[in-house]
Amino acid sequence: MSASIAEALAGLAPARLQYRIHHEALVGSTNDWAKSLAAAGAPEGTLCWADAQSAGRGRRGRSWLSPTGGLYLSLVLRPDLPPAAIPRLTPMAAVAVARAIGPAVAIKWPNDVLLDGRKVCGILSELHGDPAAVILGIGVNVAAAPDLAAVPTAGSLRAPDRIALLRAVLAETDACYDGLLAGAWPALLDEWRRRSCTLGQEVTVTGAFGQATGLAVDVDADGALLLATPTGTRRFLAGEVTLNRGEGATP
């Protein structure tokens, strides 16, 4: 075990996840790495961690800039949950990361973590294999890198202690996952709501369906966004949100 893995795990006493950390300086995508380990039978708790990615992937087929200094993780989960409950893992992870970073961050629907209105963390969950493993990919921008500075919506955490951040993410992910499996989804969703900078805002949702503008009134039990529009309430399971004004407005 490398010194940084030992440091990340020291003193952690997870309730549910027996973390097995793999660490590399550079990989293509930690999600792809974790998928290949999951396909070879890696157990729940297997975690792929890289200092940089050359082909980091984001939602909706986008790439995720992954310069050295950020935190790039993918966790193999094999949850005992009905298929309809699997999408809860992504908002669960957003709550865990928000707890780990602290009260200054907010969650923008669906699951972006923002600091001062700029995205500092993205989450990409993917199902893989049969029986399915969930690969929970988390990317956190930790220190302002020149590539990221050029992206107007991207921000970075100013706390450069990546190991401390990693430890906090591991601890909170374990606590949230344990809660989710124990039936605490309503409480996690309520925490998501409290940390949200989307609810109560005029927003535009963009997706394959086109665009819709309205008031983000709530998320339902599936985490779908409920938007009050002039033609009635609309429900969105996926999409991209632009906050049209107020705190956390997208630059």
Q: What residues line the site for ligand BTN (CB under 6 A)?
A: 29-31, 53, 56-59, 62, 64, 72-74, 112, 122-124, 137-139
Structure-token pair, residue 183: 């039936």
Phi, psi of 129 (to 5 degrees): 85, 180
Select 72 or 236, whichever has its Cβ closest to ligand BTN: 72
Q: What's the min distance (Å) between Cβ of 71 and ligand BTN?
A: 8
Select 74 or 156, whichever has its Cβ closest to ligand BTN: 74
Select 52 or 215, whichever has its Cβ closest to ligand BTN: 52
Buried b (16+ CB within 10 A) or exposed e, 66-102: bbebbbbbbbbbbbebeeeeebbbbbbbbbbbbbbbe
Q: What's the min distance (Å) between Cβ of 194 and ligand BTN?
A: 21
Task: Outline where DSSP puts E strands in the chain.
Answer: 20-27, 46-53, 71-77, 105-108, 112-115, 118-128, 133-140, 202-207, 210-219, 225-229, 232-236, 240-243
Closest by CA position to 177, among listed 84, 37, 48, 44: 44
Largest CA distance in the chain: 58
Select 111 or 201, whichever has its Cβ closest to ligand BTN: 111
Contact 158, 68 (CB under 8 A): no
CA torsion through residues 43, 20, 22, 178, sign: positive
Q: What's the min distance (Å) between Cβ of 233 and ligand BTN?
A: 26
Cis peptide before 110 (omega within 30 of 0): yes
Q: What's the min distance (Å) between Cβ of 33 and ligand BTN?
A: 8
Q: What's the min distance (Å) between Cβ of 171 and ligand BTN?
A: 18
Nearest residue to ligand BTN, by Cβ distance, number only? 122
Select 121 or 224, whichever has its Cβ closest to ligand BTN: 121
Structure-token pair, residue 115: 């600091």
DSSP 104: T
Select 109 or 185, whichever has its Cβ closest to ligand BTN: 109
Q: What's the min distance (Å) between Cβ of 73 and ligand BTN?
A: 6
Select 56 or 239, whichever has its Cβ closest to ligand BTN: 56
Q: What's the min distance (Å) between Cβ of 103 and ligand BTN?
A: 21
Separation CA 173–CA 178 (nearest Å): 8
